[in-house]
Structure 1
Amino acid sequence: MAKIKKLGSTPNVMVVVSLTIALFLIGLCGLLTLNARKLAELVKQNVEVQVYLKNDLTTVRLDSIYKVLIAKPFVLYKENSPQVNFISKEVAAKQFIEESGEDYRKLLGENNPLHNLYTVKIKQEYFTDANLKQIKTELEQIDGIHEVAYVENFVDEVNRNISKIYLILSVFVLLLLFIIIILVNNTIKLALYSQRFLIRSMQLVGATNAFIRKPFVVRGALQGLISGFVACTLLIVLQQVAVQKIEGLVLLQEMDKMLILIGGILIIGTLMGVLSTFQSVERYLRLSLDELY
């Protein structure tokens, strides 16, 4: 006895696997984008402006300059603490000798040519060449400050590379999304192909298009939701393996952003299942009997 097909039933495994692969690739691109954004944020937050002080400043004057610095709107705060640190010229000299391997004392004796300084971390919204130049000019006008310096070439290079990364990822994601929509749409269309005559039979007995369409669309939404859950699970597993294998990657993890990405994947999966199914069913609803063959 031939098995009677139920209205709305389609090859679930084929559709779910196709949707899962598509959503996993979309989620992977989203995860790479989040990590790239977080990495750029960390790089920007760790760029320091060196504020070199004039010699022979009193403790009161040093404290006064510190208060002026922390009041500036561009100074980065972490946990309500201004990221402004004082480094004495003795400590600076020790760091210089350790990093360069050269001892200036062989030439200059005990005369320390370095200056006391404050290192100032800048908010990432000020991380542009124009803003940093303005900050440099503004700080050098403060009485008691000898010079302000930062790594200019590094700032320009970071900004250029970040722009390139975002552009490449955006183009790749859009191209990938376009290809995935076509592939998923064709997969669902093929899955519904075997039910084209059942759809026609329902039309002949007087069923409305909405009645015929409903079980297919509900099944498409369910397939998209299941695919979304599977894709998110694979993405989380991949992320945890990468965190364990790659040192320092844990610093790039943002749980709130990850939850938003997971929610987005579930929504996209459901929408892709519903819209692709709706479009395919509409196509068969409009075909004549001759065209169905």
Structure 2
Amino acid sequence: MPLKKKKVGSYPNAMIIASLTAALFLIGFCGLLVMQSKKLISIIKQNIEVRVMLDKGLDSNQVTKVYKGIVARPFVLSIDGKPQVTFFSKDEAAKEFIADTKEDFSTLLGDNPLHDSYRVRLQEDYFEDTKLKQIKAELEKNDGVFEVVYQENLADQINKNLTKIYLILATFAVIMLVIIILLMNNTIRLALYSQRFLIRSMQLVGATNGFIQRPFLKNGAVQGLISGLIAAGLIVALQQLALHQIEGLHLLQEYDKLSFLLAGVIILGALIGIASTFQALARYLRMALDDLY
């Protein structure tokens, strides 16, 4: 029975593709978490309100003047051309206070001491403690404004926690990338072991290193692309499953950024496949004949 000829650059692919797919999926999943956590924080920031308390006894013209002075500011969030500034009467504020505290102060005081107010949602760029203090000082200079209140230190706490989340995910992604490279190098090196004599035979007949490497690098690129495509498909499948299981998750989706993430996973797979194959192959190209045994 004739022996089956070995084809240059051919070796078992399943183990390499499986290992690289798993690693690329974890990296892509980290990227997806970063994207959605950033979107979530953006939504939280845009829904936190600054309360502009009005002086008591203002007539409708004075109240309107205060409103116009607020909406003209650059820090006010606008959605579809509509400034996100809402009037909140003192009666509405009293109902909210009673609902939150379960205490009816009107039975004790006999009067409503609260103020009419405007609740202002801010642009995300202004969500910093220093900028919030400037906004407070700026608005309190307006006639008819009694006081401006907001949750102090909340912005810094959210920003610090967000930085920690990004740092943890980035560290995990870097660790995974290092593990991928080490794992792929060892896996491909073992796979190339079966072709070490074929590589040496090509060197003996005068084949250049570039000629020998070409089919192997091509195969590595194909393996990386296949792994990247499978990993991208798993990420999309996981995302779609989560969308059907978690209510409101659709608000965090940014499909343009997701497409860049998936493309990045596929390209990263191809690059890792080529780089790992090149590095593992270089070892056999430099190896002495005695070491092949």
* TM-score normalised to structure 1 length: 0.96
Aligned residues of 2:54 and 2:145 also touching (Cα < 8 A): yes
Deviation at 1:147, TM superposition (A): 0.3
- Structure 1 residues 150-159 or 77-86, which shifts more? 150-159
Aligned residues of 2:129 and 2:153 also touching (Cα < 8 A): no
Deviation at 1:224, TM superposition (A): 0.5
Aligned to 2:147: 147
Q: Read off the aligned partner of 2:270 and give its amino acid letter.
A: T
Report matched runs for 1:7-26 at 5 Å.
Answer: 7-26=8-27
Say whether residues 1:77 and 2:46 are aligned partners: no
Q: Read off the aligned partner of 1:71 and give its amino acid letter.
A: A
Return the alpha-carbon distance in structure 2 between the equivalents of residues 58 and 289 of structure 1.
97
Return the alpha-carbon distance in structure 1 between the equivalents of residues 189 and 79 of structure 2.
53
Return the alpha-carbon distance in structure 2 between the equivalents of residues 187 and 277 of structure 1.
10
Aligned to 1:115: 115
Q: Read off the aligned partner of 2:171 and give its amino acid letter.
A: V
Aligned to 1:28: 29
- Structure 1 residues 262-271 or 95-104, which shifts more? 95-104
Deviation at 1:82, TM superposition (A): 1.2
Say whether residues 1:195 and 2:195 are aligned partners: yes
Deviation at 1:130, TM superposition (A): 1.0
Return the alpha-carbon distance in structure 1 between the equivalents of residues 29 and 261 of structure 2.
10
Return the alpha-carbon distance in structure 2 between the equivalents of residues 193 and 76 of structure 1.
62
Q: Read off the aligned partner of 1:20 and give its amino acid letter.
A: T
Q: Deviations over 1:236-293 (max 9, x none)?
A: 1111112222222222111111111101101100100111111112221111211222
Q: Deviations over 1:24-48 (max 9, x none)?
A: 1111111111121111111111111
Q: Read off the aligned partner of 1:117 and give its amino acid letter.
A: S
Return the alpha-carbon distance in structure 1 between the equivalents of residues 185 and 82 of structure 2.
53
Aligned residues: 292
Say whether residues 1:219 and 2:229 are aligned partners: no
Return the alpha-carbon distance in structure 2 between the equivalents of residues 274 and 220 of structure 1.
5
Deviation at 1:157, TM superposition (A): 2.2
Please, what is the CA RMSD of the aligned residues? 1.3
Return the alpha-carbon distance in structure 2 between the equivalents of residues 152 and 198 of structure 1.
70
Q: Deviations over 1:76-95 (max 9, x none)?
A: 12222211111111222222
Deviation at 1:60, TM superposition (A): 1.7
DSSP 3-state at the match of 1:120: strand
Return the alpha-carbon distance in structure 2 between the equivalents of residues 186 and 60 of structure 1.
77
Deviation at 1:187, TM superposition (A): 1.2
Tell me the percent identity: 56
Listed as ranges, the gaps of 5+ residues in structure 1 are none
Return the alpha-carbon distance in structure 2 between the equivalents of residues 52 and 100 of structure 1.
20
Aligned to 2:127: 127
Say whether residues 1:209 and 2:209 are aligned partners: yes
Aligned to 1:234: 234
Deviation at 1:154, TM superposition (A): 2.7
Aligned to 1:165: 165
Aligned to 1:86: 87
Deviation at 1:203, TM superposition (A): 1.1
DSSP 3-state at the match of 2:113: coil
Q: Read off the aligned partner of 1:152 and give its amino acid letter.
A: E
Aligned residues of 2:49 and 2:121 also touching (Cα < 8 A): yes
Q: Read off the aligned partner of 2:8 and give its amino acid letter.
A: L
Return the alpha-carbon distance in structure 1 between the equivalents of residues 64 and 188 of structure 2.
70
Q: Read off the aligned partner of 1:233 and give its amino acid letter.
A: G
DSSP 3-state at the match of 2:53: strand
Return the alpha-carbon distance in structure 1 between the equivalents of residues 7 and 84 of structure 2.
66
Deviation at 1:178, TM superposition (A): 1.2
* TM-score normalised to structure 2 length: 0.96
Q: Deviations over 1:116-147 (max 9, x none)?
A: 11111111111111111111111111111000
Aligned to 1:256: 256
Q: Deviations over 1:46-105 (max 9, x none)?
A: 111000011121222222211211121111122222111111112222222222222122
Q: Read off the aligned partner of 1:2 and give its amino acid letter.
A: L
